[in-house]
Structure 1
């Protein structure tokens, strides 16, 4: 209780320090800060913040959309469900820059060429939200994140969709996201098998930090470029990661190859159980979660809950029903191949597809 009270008092002082009413001077500046990518999953796609600097008021603060409270009741369930409340926070720019330099992540700044009245409106709107319910929002991976929230706030202050969300592209969201995890095969595979049909839509929405940074360079406001100045504050020096067998497709190929060559009934049963449980998980998430990205997940055709049904009949020596379920699974697997053949991650799941075909078409299993 004492720690919670201390934390509350700290937050109260913190927010008061950054949410005080300040009349920005005529020389105040506002800029969009873009943070580069990094290996951890939370840093995989970069970050967007918005900075206000006013030397006359000794003000230099960055607002960030994307914080959440780990102490939220039922945190994991709410995170999975998609109704976890994220909120805006503020830091001094010095703290902000130091933290990302420490993580060795690039920092880019784009100063916006806006009249002072618009800068004041934008600052007041965001600053006041720190101490009101407006600081909270329901996070959505594509539709509402740290980047889209900054776009929203800038457009609201300018009274128009100066930064347009809709950008026609030939690529799908999945294709746009795929290269970000090129150095991390297992993470890339996990992301693609948990996503459903939404990410296969054309990527018409501006939602990634680095894409916003590039887009800002082309936007005009009041017949002038919106970005007055672009600066690289810190360029991260990232060496190419050495090849890691345990984070590559070769690991999957070797593991599946061993299971195939063993041709052991118990080992194959365990493999089918894992496939079936993953299928149940994807099905549950699709029914339970508000995240549109995980709905209608056709990867259930590969990680199929019917493997559990097949094992049930097979272990009870119900040959006829086991055979029927096996052919149903095979049919679903064929359908899956046609669905994912033109997807960017087809090669990633190809070893699993081949292994599953081999297991299913075998007429008998070893009896040991």
Structure 2
């Protein structure tokens, strides 16, 4: 323990001494880096980081606020709950770019047109934050992420906080997010059914890396462009190919199988899956601190009442099967009406239709 404390104090002392030497020179460049999107869920929306480069003092550091540790105990539960701790780290730019070259993701750099004093202040704030409690933060998908953290720390240094959200004046968060998963049907479906009512609000927060990049290119600061230069540091060569398994067509085949077969066992399986998904959404809504997951109206489609329906199907209780089927159909009707103005209506519509057909058959089934 003593060794850890000694090491920490040495880091603080080194950082303090380094900052006091005023390493920022006229040749220093302060940049915001944007990493393009990729195919995995945690890379779907891109990434933002800060770079400080000074050839005079051989500084070339990345300040990355998107760090997390997969080895964290109960990682999935913490992430879903919304108390997952992310942290910032400073390391050489060469390592940063190389890691994204390996992932085949483009890296764009926007050099900020700010004064030497502002560069110095920003550098000192960043350096201090690396060895203080500010290094850690509780991740929030919209309100607090790698992009919002960069915006906040840059706006703290610049007068009148010039970086503002000038995009998506009429769009909801869901509409802003929707195109990012356009080539990944099941990921797009999963994202839209797990998100609740909050993402249907107007997109007031600037929280996506590519949006920040666009905003910066159109931002003025002290009667001049905030970005003096934009470069592509690494250009990825990404190709997109059609996957039948990851498309609406595979879902249609699965749903058609249940609708055509219409057996007791397949109905039990189908409604069990939907009911369990709805139960999961309900539990997450009570468990999670993520505002995006609260008040999830998609439980009207993935209705926990289906589990009661399954129970009565197994018990061959036709009377209660018919009653619950009519109740679930009513909920499904309300859900469909509510979804008319929602952008994700089309991707859930096959499930709505298939479920309606199966419920209607059960509701109209003749009593033996």
Q: TM-score, normalised by structure 2?
A: 0.92
Counterpart mapping for 1:2-81 below 5 A: 19=15, 21-22=18-19, 23=22, 24-81=24-81
- Equivalent in the alignment of 1:301: 300
Offset, 1:160: 2.6
Contact 2:86 2:138 in 1 (8 A): yes
Any conservation in 1 of the 2:168–2:176 contact (CA below 8 Å)? no
What is the deviation of 1:12?
Answer: 6.8
Does 2:343 align with 1:364?
no
Partner residue in 1 for 2:138? 138
Q: CA RMSD in A?
A: 2.5
In the alignment, the residues of structure 2 paired with residue 12 and residue 99 of structure 1 have an alpha-carbon distance, to the nearest angstrom, of: 27
SS in 2 for 1:245: coil
Partner of 2:317: 318
**In structure 1, distance between residues paired with 2:14 and 2:183:** 39
Q: Give, in angstroms, the shift of residue 19 of structure 1.
A: 4.5
Unmatched segments (≥5 aa) in structure 1? 1-5
Deviates most, 271-280 or 345-354: 345-354
Is the Cα contact below 8 Å between 1:15 and 1:130 reproduced in 2?
no
Are 2:306 and 1:273 aligned? no
SS at 1:347 equivalent: helix
Distance between the aligned counterparts of 1:74 and 1:257, measured in 2?
Answer: 38
Q: Is the 8 A contact 1:298 1:336 kept in 2?
A: yes
SS at match of 1:57: coil
Partner of 1:122: 122
The answer as to whether partners of 1:167 and 1:205 remain within 8 angstroms in 2 is: no
Give the CA deviation at 1:252.
0.5
In 1, Cα distance between the equivalents of 2:107 and 2:167?
24
Q: Distance in 1 between matches of 2:87 and 2:331?
A: 42
Instruction: Say whether the 8 Å CA contact 2:88–2:130 is kept in structure 1.
Output: yes
Residue equivalent to 2:113: 113
Distance 1:222 1:158 in 2: 10
Q: Secondary structure at the match of 2:162?
A: coil
Question: Which secondary structure does the structure 2 equivalent of 1:229 belong to?
Answer: strand
The CA distance in 2 between the partners of 1:197 and 1:284, in whole Å, is: 16
Counterparts of 1:104-253 in structure 2 under 5 Å?
104-165=104-165, 167=167, 169-239=169-239, 241-253=240-252
**C-alpha distance in structure 2 between counterparts of 1:47 and 1:14, whole Å:** 31
Q: CA deviation at 1:214?
A: 0.7
Counterpart secondary structure, 2:83: coil
Alpha-carbon shift at residue 217 of structure 1 (Å): 1.1
- Report deviation, 1:13: 12
Equivalent residue, structure 2, for 1:329:
328
Q: Using the TM superposition, give the Cα deviation of residue 242 of structure 1 relative to its aligned residue in structure 2, in angstroms.
A: 2.2
Q: Evaluate the alpha carbon distance shift between residue 46 and residue 74 of structure 1 in structure 2; reply closer, same or farther with a 3 A threshold.
A: same
Q: Contact 2:258–2:266 at 8 Å: present in 1 too?
A: yes
CA distance in 2 between partners of 1:341 and 1:14 (Å): 60
Q: Which sections of structure 2, spanning at least 5 residues, go unmatched?
A: none
Equivalence for 2:97: 97
TM-superposed deviation, 1:72: 2.9
Q: Taking structure 1 as reference, are residues 324 and 201 closer, same or farther at Cα in structure 2, changes over 3 Å only?
A: same
What is aligned with 2:353?
354
Relative to structure 1, is the Cα distance of residues 268 and 256 closer, same or farther in structure 2, using a 3 angstrom cutoff?
Answer: same
Range 65-74 or range 324-333, more displaced: 65-74
| Deviation at residue 16 of structure 1 after TM alignment | 7.5
- Paired residues of 2:268 and 2:313 also in contact (CA < 8 A): no
Question: What are the superposed Cα offsets for residues 78-127 of structure 1, whole Å, 9 maximum, x if unpaired?
Answer: 11110111111122011111111121111111100111111111111111
Pair 1:255–1:82, CA change in 2 (3 A): same
- Matches of 2:315 and 2:14, distance apart in 1: 67
Q: State whether residues 18 and 127 of structure 1, in contact with CA within 8 Å, keep that contact through their aligned partners in structure 2.
A: no
How many residues are paired up? 361
SS in 1 for 2:56: helix
Question: Closer, same or farther in 2 for the Cα pair 1:183/1:271, shift >3 Å?
Answer: same
SS in 2 for 1:224: coil
Once residues 184 and 360 of structure 2 are traced to their aligned partners in structure 1, the CA distance between those partners, rounded to angstroms, is 32
8 Å contact from structure 2 (residues 108, 233) kept in 1: yes
Q: Is 2:340 the partner of 1:341?
A: yes
